[in-house]
Structure 1
Amino acid sequence: MTLNEALNIKNEKRIALLEEADSKRMELHNKLPEIKLIDKKIEGLPFRMLGGESKEKLSAEADMLNAERERILLSAGYTKDYDLPKFECLDCNDSGYTQGLKICHCIKEMAAATKYTESALAGGLIDKTFDNFSLDFYSRQNGERLQMEGILNGCKRYAEAFPNDSSAGLLFLGGTGLGKTHLSAAVANKVASKGYSVIYESAQQIFDTCDAVRFNRMDISQRTKYENCSLLIIDDLGAECITQYSVSSITSLIDLRIVNGRPTVISTNLTPAAIKKTYGERLLSRLLGEFRVLQFVGKDIRMQKIKGE
């Protein structure tokens, strides 16, 4: 992604946030006429300054009006910033530029992160989308196709709404060859196309990196990237070389992302009982409590293709 592409994406987000804020303000004006009156008074303050009134007097009046506005909102059950745009970057308010028309760091990070995502998904995963996920491999007879159609639509809604309503993330359960990797990659590609930083790696790759950082073979930034990216996708949890340290590394990483409100998508061939046995009851409880659990069903698609079914 180029800087211009990142700027365009950020600008589209900014416009959407401003439109949402305007809609909420109109809602407040309809439900709370006193808010509309206060807003009209606040909007008129700059014109009164042009008329000669002192800056100090008008500033004090603005503070009083804003305090009254906040009181009314809170008493009516709204948050004080209900109708303010929720910008992602407070340094540039999602304009993409800081003072002096310098490109904001968020734009540079977005462009760099997307390039990383494209690299990480190379080798057959970059082309995995929701549109080319086929339901033809799932039987209509026993409800498999209906269940997988629900999972497909759920993943699509999750990626399209990201980061809104993303909660902690998604947990894909099911045997080998049921489509978990395809839908994980489809989520990654969709979220990355919106300008968010996505890291897609296997549990083994993540453990190897954490191990290398532990013994100073890699810089610590190679671990913190897992902690700070917008969306982390851990593929094949449980297939890594299981040691006390690998369990601790993966568990602490997932815990940290949950605490910091950073979504994670995890796919595994393990059953809940096997997750408990391998990683402990605490992690299983966090996964089942914080993640939306999606149980994949069907027969191994790879074997169906080999057999020509």
Structure 2
Amino acid sequence: MTKKNILIIDDDPAQQEITGEHLLLTGFTPLHALGCAEAFDLLQTHMVSLILLDINMPQVDGFQTMERLRATPATRAIPVLFLTSLDRQSLKIKGLELGADDYVTKPYNSFELIARIKAILRRAAPAPIKAGVISGDIQAIGLSELLQNLAQGGRASRIILPEISGKIITADGNLLLIRQGIHTGLEALLRLLLMARGSFSVHYDQIPEQLPEPEASIFSALLNTASRVDQLRSAAETTGQENPLLTLPPQGSSEPEIDLWQAQFPLPLFTLITLMNGGVEDNMNLILKAIIEDRILCLPASAD
């Protein structure tokens, strides 16, 4: 069985070494980061089962790091245990309110720490999945959350998203294939995350025998696309709505790439930028320019 990676985020190298030894002796693989930035670099290349997080660190403290972990879709579900010399009750409460799973103060009893880590991992473990298929509404669970669950489980799986022409194949926490329409790779993943509607089905242990090398780990791919998704959502909000419903005037927009989809209007903004063939950021800029020039119209937001 593959050893679970546990990431230690602590600016004290001596404490890193001590805690790392305790983890090694009990069958875990320790990863080491001296601060927030280094931790997120590691999270792009390693699948992490749990994070041990110090509070009192320079530049970005543990609470700020925790907020970023919970705000980032790719790391939101990773369990976090605060491991710190600060034992004030108010700090424990703050840590738990930010979403930590436990709080242990230094100096700690190594047997108690390992017991708490194992308890958290038992709670976080995905429920056993029988062979076959599960299905549902992707908006109810979220594509990012679904992928994270599959990463934690590690089983080979094939995800089908019929309404948005999506297909994803995963195994051992890696993305082996990502497709959305004619698009592949991270560009396809970005489009799927932006569209994320309709039904999905997950088929376990049903993947082709011959596939290319993994494109990326699931966590790395989600981290790499998260900032692009955030930037696109911020750009959309300049219209005054999160995802405005767009329509065309009778004469069209004078943009061939947009007018190609005239028969399908009205369309939500994010649907339109993913239907168009160009890069989604370029598509967004083109559409926003047309909105400013009244060559595309935003319909009023629904009153409900």
Query: TM-score, length-normalised on structure 1?
Result: 0.23
Q: Which has the higher helix share?
A: 1
Higher strand share: 2
Structure of larger gyration radius: 1
